[in-house]
Amino acid sequence: MLAGWRWDVALLQEVPPWWAEPLARACDAEQRRALTSRNALPALRRLVAERHPDAIKSNGGGANAVLTRGAIAEHAALRLRTWPERRVAQLVRLGCGTTVVNHHGSARVPLAEDELRRLWVAALAFARGGPLVLGGDLNLREPRPAGGAEHVAWRDVDHLFALGLHACGEAQRLAREVRVEAGRVQLSDHLPLAVTLRPGTPTP
């Protein structure tokens, strides 16, 4: 499904660490990943996860991944927390000059708010005044933007912000189910969000 959708950049959270590369190949894209939590004994976790995914669930290992159907000029991983769970954000400068920031926030609201505040500081510095997109599963219902960023897409705890870019139309909520031989399978507990962005600032 990911390969079939039209997109330039995809921000993924909570993916098994070994998924990023084959997903990128299937989508004819470049990828960068950052390990997050539950990654001790990776070979054993992968062995169990591939055989009993419903039993091990997220304990198979976690990573964030950025996929792009363009060039990646620079990638940095920013560790925002080690306890109670490791949280790592990705900062990616695309070949076009736009910075893309991908994050999965902590489940506890005070921790998630603290992470987002520090992430905005790092993201704005990394972007160096250029266009910026920041988003992911922030684990916040009402996250606060910074630097004059526009809130361009959201659903529950999933959000996208843009600075130096504006949304063309409303964000879309894409399908998350696929039919296989055994029936319909839900691919994620989050609805995928899609939004088209263009350079410039929104017109009042």
Residue 149 in domain: yes
User: pLDDT tens, position by position, for the chain (204 residues)?
Assistant: 899 999 999 999 999 888 899 999 999 999 999 999 665 545 554 555 566 566 555 554 589 999 999 999 999 999 999 999 999 999 999 999 999 999 999 999 999 999 999 999 999 999 999 999 999 999 999 999 999 999 999 999 999 999 999 999 999 999 888 888 878 888 888 999 999 999 976 655
List the structure tokens of 91: 């900062």
Alpha carbons 166 and 32: distance in angstroms, whole number: 25
Cis peptide bond upstream of 84, omega within 30: yes
Predicted local distance difference test score (pLDDT) of residue 154? 97
Torsion angle defined by CA atoms of residues 21, 130, 146 and 166, in that order, rounded to the nearest 10 degrees: -80
Give residue 35's identity as a one-letter amino acid code: L
Residue 119 in domain: yes
List the structure tokens of 15: 């993916």
Residue 46 in domain: yes
Give the containing element (helix H, strand E) for 15: strand 9-15
Residue 1 in domain: no
- Domain containing residue 81: CATH number: 3.60.10.10
23-60 burial: b if 16+ Cβ within 10 Å, else e? bbeebebbbbbbebbbeeeeeebbeebeeeeeebeeeb
Residue 59 in domain: yes
Of the candidates 155, 94, 88, the one whose C-alpha atom is nearest the C-alpha of residue 127 is: 94
Residue 3 in domain: no
Counting every residue written for the chain, the total comes to: 204
Total number of domains constituting the chain: 1
Q: Residue 46: give the domain boundaries.
A: 9-199
